[in-house]
Structure 1
Amino acid sequence: MNAEKKVAFYTLGCKLNFSETSTIARNFVNEGFERVEFEEKADIYVINTCSVTDNADKRFKTIVKSALKQNDEAFLIAVGCYAQLKPEELAAVDGVDLVLGATEKFNVTSYINDLTKNDVGEVHSCEIEDADFYVGSYSIGDRTRAFLKVQDGCDYKCTYCTIPLARGISRSDTLENVLKNAKEISERGIKEIVLTGVNIGDYGKGEFGNKKHEHTFLELVQALDKVEGIHRLRISSIEPNLLKDETIEFVSKSDTFVPHFHIPLQSGSDELLKKMKRRYLRKVYTNRVAKIREVMPHACIGVDVIVGFPGETDELFLETYNYLSELEISYLHVFTYSERANTEAVEMDGVVPKNVRAKRSKMLRGLSVKKRRAFYESQIGNTLSVLFEGENKEGYIHGFTENYVKVKAPWNPELVNTIHNVKLTKIDEDGLVRFDFVDTEVIH
């Protein structure tokens, strides 16, 4: 029966979700289903949801509609963070047949008995305390890079965040399994691995949430550095209090770990960091950036920041703006605060009007454009290596240097998934960087 059935997937949210969608999709394929693109007609559509922003919630309904447009008889399944937090809400959306929570999503196929549409979505959702086991995953949809999950869940209690409610306690993959997955990825000819998780700096906590770390994040990084066949390793978002000097120093000397860090700040005001229950103050963040700059002057440093958190006055916002303006960072990811049920921040005084949030968000996005431009300008004239990607975008091929400068060249299919040394020459009108080949030989 499965051999004739087609399944399609849509992922909302983070790199971690992409790695998990990929694993769920492989389970379907292993059971005889044919995977097709989401824009095609399929018998089953699986939507992996996110709960980080309001926008992701709203987009879910739009995605359901677009799936039903392809096939109004299709069986629709919702999984992921929003499915764990508000399963009944998703089940009530017209056309949704099945909603699976945090522990059930990796066994999707065992919940499909027949594909008859349900009048109301059927919910299988655990209490989040039961999400105490670990399922490793990695994404390999893109030929050039893979997202490798090493950790899940979070023990932090940030006052704005629902992720611990959606994903449970902090737990990690075994070092042995991470290395096995990394080898599998390299054997497929993928050149770059991005390490991902909810709180990857907390790597090493055992499967059942014991507080003891079997291994540290530094030991994970050191072990992955020795895996043969991987040309680039990139650390995704890591908390400033968990990014240790030893890790920064190791990355600076590594041949495979690239000089690119993404470190959440959330606010440049100590007063707001305390209200958010972040586990560091501004001084720690300043020291991390200074350490990276000391040992890797050309490193790219990305920053997450939240605007409009309750109690963020004009003065406190400007404190964040001015701090980031002076800090030697490369770009910002700006999040506009949105109220989430069952978080402490919802009850806080000092609600910032939505129009003020939008204005502040625009200011920080403008600052991000300036920061990225200044960073790119600082790299002109440097010789760097570029991994070229597989998509023909309006006659151009794009790629990223090891320190995350985005480059472009006229489309050439022979460059796809190859790494070349190039000299950066100028910034184009669209903000991307042009280059000259230093040599025509492929490095990898």
Structure 2
Amino acid sequence: MTIINNDNSTAKIGNNEGEEGGGGGGKEKKKNKFLGIIIVFLITLFMSTSAELSQYIVSGDYKAPFTIIWFSTIILSFSMVIEFILLKIELIKERKDSLKISFNNVKHIDYNINSSISGSCNYELNETKQDTLLERFQSKFKVETKINPENGEIITTGITLKKLIIISIPMSILFVGLNWIWMIAISLTEVSISTALYQSASVFCFFLSIIILKEKVKILKTISVIIFMSGIVGIAVTTVGTSKGEYPDAIKGDILMIISAALWGLYEVLTSKFIGDSNRTIVHTYMGLIAFVNLILGIPVIAILNFTRFEPFSVPSPSVFGMLLLNAVVNFSVNYLINWGLSVTSPLFVRSGELMVIVATLIFDIIIKHMDFPLLAIPGYSLIVVGFILSVYIESKNIKQQQKKEIENENETKSLLNN
């Protein structure tokens, strides 16, 4: 359910250097807009499916939340496979472009005729040396130092591969831990309620961003946080005792869901601090490293949980394994769709898919599961929706202002160089 994505990051699937994915021309913009709508719809569908499927698996025949999360996180390693495929395509395209330029610019070819029976003709075309796949991969990890023209402050951007590997170890533990708590929580309460409560991650992001990222307190952000908190309290109070024995530990599930949301808020802020504004290769590698660390450290954890009987391990049946694999693929797809969506449309539009998950899971629980929905909970849900929309609007506005400032700084630098 939880995604590896940093809302402040400009990393994009479609463009390795983080350029705006809107494209030039009306046709391209219309195409991207249509593609963006499809992506947002798929994000809503896949995130809702993941939440409902996760609850079905962990509440049914396979009560092993850690093993489920461990297996699901391993699938993230395919991001590395995708990255190397994209880099290979990039190199092939560069080679083709280089050959075209070489042949177009050739005015004279020196050749030597060998005096042999066959009378062969040889010629040589000088080519620019191209990176190997590994060299191109390594070239994406570099640290650059820039000077802020506004205040003269030195800004360091980028990250080395060694540092990313070191960072991925604690971040993988945090990521798997918060997802484990999420998986336990979702088995104890309604999916629609837990999905709404999980949006409280924005509240924790707000406070942690002030503490860790030293962000300034802004009025609109503060208002959105207050609205969020009011909605969360409203849902928690009005939904107590509505499950009629189906979820006897619903309060415990709600508390665990909020704890998971708090840890997700911490994860987002730390990810923003460590790899914010990173290119596609770094993001894919980060996902792959988290999967690798999870694979190595998860095995002894599963053994300990089995030994203590806290979570007995059992080999899943073919049908259960099929559902586990499906859930893992859906989770991976959500991650990829979000990053792809950022390359063709705005963060505001992409995150609207997350908002629609609240509505989608609520409708599913009421119609399919016949959940008793208290009317008193409507104001709580409404406040969360309003708070979410306001926070997304603020985020989108801040990103646009930042992009505008960066363009102005670049133009100012070019002007100084020309003079």
Structure 1-normalised TM-score?
A: 0.26
Q: Which of these two proteins has the greater Rg computed from alpha carbons?
A: 2
Higher helix share: 2
Bigger RCO of structures 1 and 2 (CA < 8 A, at least 6 apart): 2
Higher strand share: 1
